[in-house]
Amino acid sequence: MDTFTIFATLAASLVVVLVAACSFFVLYVSDTTLKVWMPRLIAVAVGVLLGDAFLHLLPDSMKLAENTNAVLLWTLAGILFFYVIEQFLHWRHDHSIEIPAAAAGKSASLARMNLLGDGIHNFVDGVLIAGSFLADPMLGIATTFAIVMHEIPQEISDIAVLIHGGFEKKQAVIANVVCATACIAGAVSTLLVAHTITLSLSALLAITAGGFIYIATTDLIPLLRQPKMKLTLPIQFAATAVGVISMQTILWLETILS
């Protein structure tokens, strides 16, 4: 493990924290504007997550693996792992800025649960970022970009949940940023473990791919199908294609620079 890998991993984790810090802008944006742009951001995030999984993570995992069947098993393990986390913590990637009326009576409890789930989510993000940079710097950049694109609508909804749960606006932003620092903790933990024992990077990349596939297909795509999103199919397809093309562009840059 070289100095660049350590520095790049910590810098990428800090970017995720800064995304959470920038979530304060939602306090100054009208609900109407958010409702217009949120579906588009979610559609782009779908393309980025799937593009990173199928164009970066899985091909690199197969290059490192001695047995491609093992890659498929680890990918399935990643999908199941994220499913278990979601079910155990009742962790939902709810990217809507509206809080269901049925949850209004339990808003404070919902806010605390959201903080817990978001903290663990960010810790896992740090693990994924570190594992990707350990495998390859360009892969680390692609994975960081995918995580950031997913985090933008996520952080907006987190702020809405916290405010609805009784937090003042400033408190909600601070609490959100504190939770985001778990990303740095996850990255540092992975680097320390990699320094003491040999990690199976192929397995870690496949698990990451499984997680991204799970998030895109079970959390984000169903949201785009909801009538309240009011996003036409051509716009959905175009926005998702932008996300996929952005991942392909990173591959082209990697080829040019190599």
pLDDT (tens digit per residue) in 11-69: 999 999 998 888 777 667 777 777 777 788 788 888 888 988 898 889 888 988 888 89
Residue 21 contacts residue 177 (beta carbons within 8 Å)? yes
Which has the higher per-residue pLDDT, 25 or 130?
Answer: 130
Could you tell me if residue 226 is inside a domain? yes
| CA pair distance 238, 198, nearest whole angstrom | 41
Model confidence at 114, pLDDT cuts 50, 70, 90, reads low
Could you tell me if residue 146 is inside a domain? yes
- Which of 29-33, 171-175, 225-229 has the highest average model confidence (pLDDT)? 171-175
CB within 8 Å of 256: residues ≥ 6 apart: none
Could you tell me if residue 60 is inside a domain? yes
Could you tell me if residue 105 is inside a domain? yes
| CA pair distance 219, 187, nearest whole angstrom | 24
Residue-level pLDDT at 157: 64
| Mean pLDDT score of the chain | 80
Residue 13 contacts residue 187 (beta carbons within 8 Å)? yes
Handedness of CA 55, 57, 62, 67 (dihedral sign): negative
Residue-level pLDDT at 99: 45
The tally of domains found in the chain comes to: 1
Q: Radius of gyration over alpha carbons of the chain, in Å?
A: 18
Could you tell me if residue 83 is inside a domain? yes
Could you tell me if residue 150 is inside a domain? yes
| CA pair distance 200, 227, nearest whole angstrom | 43
| CA pair distance 120, 181, nearest whole angstrom | 10
Q: Could you tell me the residue range of the domain that residue 244 belongs to?
A: 45-257
Distance in angstroms between the alpha carbons of the first and the last residue of the chain: 20
What is the pTM (predicted TM-score) of this model? 0.70
DSSP string, the chain: --HHHHHHHHHHHHHHHHHHHGGGGGGGS-HHHHHHHHHHHHHHHHHHHHHIIIIIIHHHHHHH-S-HHHHHHHHHHHHHHHHHHHHHHT------SSPPGGGGGGHHHHHHHHHHHHHHHHHHHHHHHHHHHHH-HHHHHHHHHHHHHHHHHHHHHHHHHHHHTT--HHHHHHHHHHHHTHHHHHHHHHHHHHHHS---HHHHHHHHHHHHHHIIIIIIHHHHTSGGG---HHHHHHHHHHHHHHHHHHHHHHHHH-
